[in-house]
Amino acid sequence: VVGAGGGSNDVQWCFSQVKGAIDDDVAEADIISTVEFNHSGELLATGDKGGRVVIFQQEIENKPQCRSEYNVYSTFQSHEPEFDYLKSLEIEEKINKIRWLPQKNAAQFLLSTNDKTIKLWKISERDKRPEGYNLKEEDGRYIDPNTVTALRVPVFRPMDLMVEASPRRVFANAHTYHINSISINSDHETYLSADDLRINLWHQEITDRSFNIVDIKPANMEELTEVITAAEFHPHQCNTFVYSSSKGTIRLCDMRASALCDTHSKLFEEPEDPSNRSFFSEIISSISDVKFSHNGRYMMTRDYLSVKIWDLNMESRPVETYQVHEYLRNKLCSLYENDCIFDKFECCWNGNDSVVMTGSYNNFFRMFDRGQRRDVTLEASREGSKPQQVLKPRKVCADGKRKKDEISVDSLDFNKKILHTAWHPQDNVIAVATTNNLYIFQDKVN
Amino acid sequence: MINTMECAVDAQSLISISLRKIHNSRTQRGGIKLHKNLLVSYVLRNARQVYMNEKYAEIYRMQQYEEVMTVCNEIQELNPLDLAEDCEEQSGDCCGNDGVSEPASLCCALLPVSHLTAVQSAHIQAPSACSAPLSLQSDDVCKETEPSFYRSCCAEAYPVSNWDFSTVNNNLHCNKTTVLDLDTHVVTTVENGYLHQDCCASFQQCCQGAQSPAKKRKVDFEYYISDIEEVPDFTPCKRAKFEDCSYANSEHLDTSNISNLISIFGSGFSGLVSRQADFEQALNGQFCSKQALASLGAWTRAIVAF
């Protein structure tokens, strides 16, 4: 089975936990829309369509036999539905992306965004409270000063741990179109936000202004041919970022070159295979996610059917291409009719960039081991959810000759899709979001 | 569940599905999604192109059948013996097809309508300007070319770049069929239902951009284009000049030349256009009820212009 490390250290993925409602009747507000580990991996944040953020914390276990579990740490309402009166448009509260800031002090900070507004949240712990006020009772009522006969100094006393989330900054009114990405710069001071046509650069402390660094809006909107689909800062070079487009191209930009980065420094594009041309070629070539590798040498892109690894030094074609679910190529008509062809799958790297992961349908997710050139398909389902139960590899049968334990393409449930996955920055722990459940899998600990 | 009959979806249903999606997007919560609508507009454009081409091809086929029957009647009046000799001379040159023997009577050699389709003459890298060889091709070739002409579904390719008749620059892979109109003696080129009158704006561009499938022409043929020697390829541009002076040029013709031409084309005519006006009228008639398609351009622009 595929995992980090190589050779004989094959990872066996085991079920660890599942979070969320059990029943099949999914409330729309509970649909998970983003998943993100923080930089240490101790915290795992999810956002949902209802605008809520739930943060899980890994408990430090003393037992060496099993890994730590993730338990709810904090829950808060990040965004509410809004109404744009000028355009008569409702602004969805759905959380599109969460990004953690690097930790600077005891508190944790994250950015969460919906279609229009980005918010900086501070998550802090409170485990003691002041007691012994002279003019206030414990329940908060004021004491008549005339009744005070002696003075005392208030002291801190321990209390049950309380986790508070408070919005520290609100970055609003900078995006005409729908925000699809936020990315924090390695300078720890700035971050970018990208919508369909523009990318803005913000300072984390300043909310009333941002700099526009990319603008691909044509003078005449009738000439629009492509939109921005994702953007990310380079993990080490604070001047470099990339953005992907609906045409399947990735542009790398250097902010030192000019104030407006409409002209790219590098353009990554693979020529289309003319034999695969179809009605839906434009749709399936649209890139839904772009992620730099941790070492900053590569980037990965996800389009509808494949995952591609690009070497930043080579623009002409990817260095690796992995087919996620090629058996869907003959089904594009139906997938267009039921809108599944517009699903935006994300992808992620493991800690040492040796394995990449992405989701598929039927609650399947796929891992590709770059070094060993192997791939595996696993399933996130309640049936395989006994503690420490090893996940069994799945196989989809593309032709009619279905073997035992294989699943035919026509049996796949296209309502069960895994769009969001995350990999712990150091360990073999993965978080996989089905529609409204979050699965946590870990490698088998012997 | 996924429909296993994937290839049954045709361009027209894709168009209606796409328009429905665009319409529904206006009432979706959160406002119109620019990205999704842009992608839908691409599908709409692709489906529209295929649909229009199919329509043109269909009309072309219908026209062609009628013309063939007309020509057949006219040929009946000619001396069958003269024609037979010419046919035997030319048979070896016509598309190098081996298995077909020239009939004594051209009229008899007229193939069933099913073969006389507006399939691309790209296969006709012919030594002659013989467009008719299409009809002399084997069944297999014909069947093979038709699917590649346009494939309605996901899995298979179709030459998108050929089918953008909104520009004239996509003629790099023009599939042209050369036809002779026996009524007017006008030699025209038709591109598989894409009438080159649509690109009449810039014939020179067509000429320069196009690869000619009919480079090696019969010498007999060339006197027709005596005033266009500088253009080596038989491309749509010639039609413009022919239109200008075709009727004047017809004075060059005499009976013997006509018979030569007939023999060159053999027994099958892959397409004939009798009257420009007639054809256009036919087209208009076909499309007067399909105004939505004609205005699709405006549709696709409208959905992104907000």
In tens digits, what is the pLDDT along chain A, a chain of 446 residues? 555 443 335 789 999 999 998 877 889 999 999 999 999 999 999 999 999 999 999 987 766 666 689 999 999 999 999 998 888 889 999 999 999 999 999 999 999 999 999 999 999 999 999 999 999 888 888 988 898 899 999 999 999 999 999 999 999 999 999 999 999 999 999 999 999 999 999 999 999 999 999 999 999 998 999 999 999 999 999 999 999 999 999 999 999 998 898 889 999 999 999 998 999 999 999 999 999 999 999 999 999 999 999 999 999 999 999 999 999 999 999 999 999 999 999 999 999 999 999 999 999 999 999 999 999 999 999 987 888 889 999 999 987 777 888 999 999 999 999 999 999 999 999 999 999 999 999 998 76
CB A439 within 8 A of CB A15: yes
C-alpha span between A109 and A91 (Å, rounded)? 24
How many residues are present in chain A?
446
Taking contacts as CB-CB distances below 8 angstroms, the residues of chain B near A283 are 39, 42-43
Measured in degrees and rounded to the nearest 5, phi and psi for residue A327 equal -65, -10
Q: What share of chain B is helix, strand, coil (3-state, %, to 5)?
A: 55, 5, 40
Which residue in A226, A173, A176, A174 sits closest to A201, CA to CA?
A174
Measured in degrees and rounded to the nearest 5, phi and psi for residue A234 equal -65, 140
Measured in degrees and rounded to the nearest 5, phi and psi for residue A122 equal -105, 125
B301 secondary structure, DSSP code: H
Question: Among all residues of chain A, which has the CA nearest to that of B20?
Answer: A337
Tokens of A397: 């049968």
B149 secondary structure, DSSP code: H
Taking contacts as CB-CB distances below 8 angstroms, the residues of chain B near A278 are 151, 153-158
Q: Does A436 touch chain B (CB under 8 A)?
A: no
Tokens of B64: 């062609």
**Hey, are the CB atoms on B4 and A410 less than 8 Å from each other?**
yes
C-alpha span between A118 and A170 (Å, rounded)? 6
Which residue in B34, B164, B296 sits closest to A246, CA to CA?
B34
User: Closest partner residue to B39 among A90, A283, A412, by Cβ?
Assistant: A283
User: Closest partner residue to A329 among B152, B154, B306, by Cβ?
Assistant: B154
Which residue in A294, A422, A363 sits closest to A34, CA to CA?
A422
Tell me the sheet residues that pair with A15: A441
Question: Among all residues of chain A, which has the CA nearest to that of B9?
Answer: A333
Taking contacts as CB-CB distances below 8 angstroms, the residues of chain B near A340 are none
| Alpha helices in B3-160, H assignment, sequence order | 11-25, 34-75, 80-91, 133-136, 139-149
Which residue in B300, B35, B39 sits closest to A194, CA to CA?
B35
C-alpha span between A340 and A100 (Å, rounded)? 30
Chain A from 273 to 302: CB within 8 A of any B CB: 274-283, 286
Interface test with B, best of A82, A178, A278 (most B CBs within 10 A): A278
C-alpha span between A333 and A335 (Å, rounded)? 5
**Hey, are the CB atoms on B155 and A330 less than 8 Å from each other?**
yes
Reported pTM: 0.69
Chain A from 307 to 346: CB within 8 A of any B CB: 329-337, 339, 342
Residue located via tokens 């069929």: B177
User: Closest partner residue to B154 among A178, A275, A333, by Cβ?
Assistant: A333
C-alpha span between A416 and A240 (Å, rounded)? 36
Buried b (16+ CB within 10 A) or exposed e, A85-124: eeeebebbbbbbbbbbbeeeeeebbbbbbbbbbbbbbebe
**Hey, are the CB atoms on A278 and B157 less than 8 Å from each other?**
yes
Low-confidence ranges of chain B (pLDDT < 50): 1-8, 84, 87-174, 181-183, 193-306
Taking contacts as CB-CB distances below 8 angstroms, the residues of chain B near A221 are 304-306
